[in-house]
Amino acid sequence: MPMWNPDCEAMSREELEKLQVKRLREAVERVAATVPFYQKRFQEAGVSPEDINSLDDLKRLPFTEKNDLRENYPFGLFTVSLEQIVRIHASSGTTGKPTVGGYTRADLELWAEVMARTVTCAGVTAQDVVHNAYGYGLFTGGLGFHLGAEKVGATVVPISGGMTRRQVMLMEDFGATVLTCTPSYSLVLAEEAAEMGVDFKKHMKVRTGIFGAEPWSEKMRAEIEDKLGVEAYDIYGLTEIIGPGVSVECEHHNGLHIFEDHFLPEIIDPDTGEPLPYGEEGELVFTTLTKEAMPVIRYRTRDRTVLHVEPCACGRTMVRMEKILGRTDDMLIVRGVNVFPQLVERTLLTVEGLEPHYQIVIDRPKDQLDILEVWVEASPDLFNPIDTRALDALKEKAESELAQTLGVSARVKLMGPRSLERSLGKAKRVVDKRDI
Site residues, ligand ADP (CB under 6 A): 91, 139-141, 212-215, 234-239, 243-244, 301, 303, 324, 333, 336, 338
Return the one option of ligand ADP, Zn ion, none that residue 314 interacts with (CB less than 5 to 8 A, by type): Zn ion
Question: Least separation, in Å, of the C-beta of 248 and Zn ion?
Answer: 10
Find the shortest distance in angstroms from Cβ 248 to ligand ADP: 9
Query: Which residue from 224, 218, 240 is spatially nearest to 180, judged by alpha carbons?
Result: 224
Residue closer to Zn ion by CB (options 312, 344) is 312
Return d(Cα 301, Cα 430) in angstroms, integer: 21
- Residue 83's CB is within 10 A of a number of other CB atoms, namely 7
Q: Which is nearer to Zn ion, 319 or 337 (CB)?
A: 319
CB of 311 to Zn ion, least distance (A): 9
Which parts of 248-307 interact with Zn ion (CB under 5 A)? 250, 252
Residue 66 and residue 340 in contact, taking contact as beta carbons nearer than 8 Å: no
Which of 129, 193, 293, 312 binds Zn ion (CB under 5 A)? It is 312
Stretch that binds Zn ion, among 7-15, 104-112, 164-172, 246-254 (CB under 5 A): 246-254
Rounded Cα distance between 244 and 212, Å, is 8
Q: What DSSP string runs through 362-384?
A: EE--TTS--EEEEEEEEPGGGBT
Question: In sequence order, what DSSP letters do the residues of 383-421 get, joined into one string?
Answer: BTTB-HHHHHHHHHHHHHHHHHHHSS--EEEEE-TT-SP
**Residue 378 contacts residue 391 (beta carbons within 8 Å):** yes
Q: How far apart are CA 420 and CA 406, in angstroms?
A: 23
236 binds, among ligand ADP, Zn ion, none (CB under 5 to 8 A by kind): ligand ADP
What is the nearest approach in angstroms of ligand ADP to the Cβ of residue 333?
6
Binding-site size, Zn ion (CB under 5 A)? 5
Q: Return the closest-CA partner of residue 237 out of 94, 89, 98.
A: 89
Interface with Zn ion by CB under 5 A: which range of 29-37, 92-100, 222-230, 311-319?
A: 311-319
User: Which of ligand ADP, Zn ion, none is residue 213 near (CB under 5 to 8 Å by kind)?
Assistant: ligand ADP
β-bridge partners, 89: 101
Q: Which is nearer to ligand ADP, 21 or 91 (CB)?
A: 91
If contact means CB under 5 to 8 A according to the sort of partner, which of ligand ADP, Zn ion, none does residue 214 touch? ligand ADP
Give 160 or 239: the residue with its C-beta nearer to ligand ADP. Answer: 239
Q: φ and ψ at 76, to 5 degrees?
A: -65, -20
405 binds, among Zn ion, ligand ADP, none (CB under 5 to 8 A by kind): none
Q: Are strands 299-305 and 282-288 parallel, antiparallel or unpaired?
A: antiparallel
Residue 317 interacts, among ligand ADP, Zn ion, none and using kind-specific CB cut-offs from 5 to 8 Å, with none
Tell me if 417 sits within 8 A of 383, measured CB to CB: yes
Among ligand ADP, Zn ion, none, partner that 140 touches (CB below 5 to 8 angstroms by kind)? ligand ADP
Q: Which residues bind Zn ion (CB under 5 A)?
A: 250, 252, 312, 314, 316
